[in-house]
Structure 1
Amino acid sequence: MGELDGLTRPELVGSLLAEALGDDGWRAIEPRLIAGGKSNLTFELVSPAGSVVLRRPPSGHILRGAHDMGREARVQAALAGTGVPVARVLLVRDESGPLGVPFYVMEKVAGHAIRDVLPPGYAEDGASRAAMAHALVDTLATLHAVDPIAVGLGDYGRHSGFMARQVRTWTRQWEAARTRDVPAMDELGRRLAEHPFTEPARPSVVHGDYRLDNVLMHPEDPGRIGAVLDWELSTLGDPLADVGMLLFYWTEPGERSPLLIPAVMAKPGFPRRASLVERYASRSGADLADLGAYLAFAHFKFAAIAQGVAARAAAGVMAGQDFGDLSGAPERIALDGLDRWKG
Structure 2
Amino acid sequence: MDSASPTGLDLEKLTRWLAAERPGMVAGELSATLIQGGKSNLTYELTDGTQQWIVRRPPLGTIMATAHDMRREYTMADALGGTDVPVAKMFAYCGDKDVIGAEFYIMERIDGVPYRYADELRLLGEERTRAISTELVRTLAKLHAVDPATVGLSDFGRPEGFLARQVKRWKTQLDASFTRELPGAEELYEKLVAAVPSVSASGIVHGDFRLDNVLMGSDDMPAAVIDWEMATLGDPLLDLALMLTYQRRAKIVADRDTTDPATYDVTLAPGYLSQEEIMDLYEQESGRSLDGFGFHLGLACFKLAGISEGVRYRHINRQTVGEGFEDSGNTVPLLLELGLESMKEYK
TM normalised by structure 2 equals: 0.91
Task: Name the counterpart of 2:271.
Answer: 269
1:241 is matched with which residue: 238, 241, 257? 238
Change in 2 beyond 3 A, CA 1:134/1:18:
farther
Q: Which amino acid aligns with 2:304?
A: F
Question: Contact (CA 8 Å) 2:122, 2:270: kept in 1 or not?
Answer: no
Cα separation, 2, equivalents of 1:40 and 1:314: 18
1:86-105 deviation line (CA, Å, top 9, x unaligned): 11111100134411311001
Cα separation, 2, equivalents of 1:253 and 1:177: 23
Cα separation, 1, equivalents of 2:204 and 2:110: 22
Task: Name the counterpart of 2:135.
Answer: 135
Deviation at 1:17, TM superposition (A): 3.8
Deviation at 1:37, TM superposition (A): 5.9
Cα separation, 2, equivalents of 1:9 and 1:210: 30
Task: Name the counterpart of 1:87.
Answer: 88
Deviation at 1:209, TM superposition (A): 0.7
Cα separation, 2, equivalents of 1:296 and 1:128: 31
Cα separation, 2, equivalents of 1:3 and 1:171: 40
Deviation at 1:198, TM superposition (A): 4.5
Question: Contact (CA 8 Å) 1:252, 1:265: kept in 2 or not?
Answer: no
Task: Name the counterpart of 1:56.
Answer: 57
Deviation at 1:114, TM superposition (A): 1.1
Deviation at 1:327, TM superposition (A): 4.7
> Is 2:332 the counterpart of 1:336?
no
Change in 2 beyond 3 A, CA 1:334/1:127:
same
Question: Contact (CA 8 Å) 2:146, 2:203: kept in 1 or not?
Answer: yes
> Is 2:319 the counterpart of 1:317?
yes
Give the percent of matched residue pairs that are identical in Structure 1 and Structure 2: 37
Question: Contact (CA 8 Å) 1:296, 1:341: kept in 2 or not?
Answer: yes
Secondary structure of the residue aligned to 2:339 is: helix
Deviation at 1:332, TM superposition (A): 1.7
Once the two structures are superposed, the pairs formed by residues 114-133 of structure 1 within 5 Å of their partners are: 114-119=115-120, 124-133=124-133
Of stretches 96-105 and 314-323 in structure 1, the one that deviates more from structure 2 is 314-323
Secondary structure of the residue aligned to 1:200 is: coil
Task: Name the counterpart of 1:147.
Answer: 147
> Is 2:328 the counterpart of 1:326?
yes
Equivalenced residues, count:
338
Deviation at 1:36, TM superposition (A): 6.0
Deviation at 1:180, TM superposition (A): 1.8
Once the two structures are superposed, the pairs formed by residues 173-184 of structure 1 within 5 Å of their partners are: 173-184=173-184
Change in 2 beyond 3 A, CA 1:120/1:48:
farther
Of stretches 278-287 and 323-332 in structure 1, the one that deviates more from structure 2 is 323-332
Cα separation, 2, equivalents of 1:41 and 1:200: 33
Task: Name the counterpart of 1:188.
Answer: 188
Cα separation, 2, equivalents of 1:210 and 1:172: 22
Deviation at 1:107, TM superposition (A): 0.7
Task: Name the counterpart of 1:221.
Answer: 219
Task: Name the counterpart of 2:206.
Answer: 207
Change in 2 beyond 3 A, CA 1:327/1:38:
closer
Question: Contact (CA 8 Å) 2:122, 2:269: kept in 1 or not?
Answer: no
Deviation at 1:230, TM superposition (A): 0.8
Which consecutive residues of structure 1, in runs of 5 or more, have no partner in the other structure? none
Cα separation, 1, equivalents of 2:58 and 2:205: 21
Change in 2 beyond 3 A, CA 1:150/1:268:
same
1:38-73 deviation line (CA, Å, top 9, x unaligned): 211111112212211111011135524231001000
Secondary structure of the residue aligned to 1:106 is: strand
Question: Contact (CA 8 Å) 2:114, 2:215: kept in 1 or not?
Answer: yes
Cα separation, 2, equivalents of 1:193 and 1:239: 19
1:198-219 deviation line (CA, Å, top 9, x unaligned): 5235x2010011111111111x
Cα separation, 1, equivalents of 2:56 and 2:166: 24
Of stretches 74-83 and 44-53 in structure 1, the one that deviates more from structure 2 is 44-53
Question: Contact (CA 8 Å) 2:44, 2:55: kept in 1 or not?
Answer: yes
Deviation at 1:134, TM superposition (A): 1.1
Question: Contact (CA 8 Å) 1:307, 1:326: kept in 2 or not?
Answer: yes
TM normalised by structure 1 equals: 0.92
**4+ residue runs of structure 1 moved beyond 4 angstroms?**
1-4, 117-122, 251-254
Secondary structure of the residue aligned to 2:241 is: helix
Alignment RMSD, CA only?
A: 2.2
Of stretches 306-315 and 142-151 in structure 1, the one that deviates more from structure 2 is 306-315
Deviation at 1:33, TM superposition (A): 1.0
Which consecutive residues of structure 2, in runs of 5 or more, have no partner in the other structure? none
